[in-house]
Structure 1
Amino acid sequence: MTDRTKPRRVRPAKTPTVPAQRARGWLTVDEFCGELMISRDTFYDWRKKGRAPKCAKLPNGSLRIRRSEFEKFMTTAEDNA
């Protein structure tokens, strides 16, 4: 009898711990919310009230926040605390 075993599936490599946008100085809304431990609803509420950092809107409608805008936002928040 021959030993016919199925080849094992190879799992795809894990994504890098630092997403590409973050490495280039951009944050997604989820990354921004994760940094501040807030919900997406809170972010969009702040955005509606003009309290969120400036965002860039991509052609697909998703938003990105420059890392420098995030840092400026945090500095302003510290100054107002």
Structure 2
Amino acid sequence: MPKPEYMKLPAVLAEIEMSRAAFYRMRARGKAPRLIKLPNGQLRVSRADLDAWWAAQEVAA
């Protein structure tokens, strides 16, 4: 079974073309992809979660 891919937040922001501030506002409203906080405090997003979020955005539009 392949290892899940986790993306750093700057890579996610670049892919969705969004500023960090806008992302956190969206996250506060519960509309952003799920974040995973590592023990060292860094944030990651699962590639699968990001892809699912993208698909949900296409359906909502």
What TM-score comes out, normalization by structure 1 length? 0.67
Q: AA paired with 1:80?
A: A
- Distance in 1, matches of 2:56 and 2:47, equals 14
Aligned counterparts, 1:31-50, within 5 A: 31-50=11-30
Secondary structure, in 3 states, of the residue corresponding to 2:7?
A: strand
Structure showing greater radius of gyration is 1
- Structure 1: gaps (5+ residues): 1-23
The residue aligned with 2:41 is 61
**Structure 2: segments with no counterpart, 5+ residues:** none
Q: Give the drift of 1:46.
A: 1.0
The structure with higher relative contact order (CA 8 Å, sep 6+) is 2
Structure 1: how far apart are the matches of 2:38 and 2:5? Answer: 15
How many residues of Structure 1 are paired with residues of Structure 2 in the alignment? 59
Among all aligned residue pairs of Structure 1 and Structure 2, give the percentage whose two residues are the same amino acid: 33
Moved over 6 A (4+): none
Q: What do the CA deviations read for 1:6-28 (whole angstroms, capped 9, x no partner)?
A: xxxxxxxxxxxxxxxxxx51111
Q: TM-score, normalised by structure 2?
A: 0.87
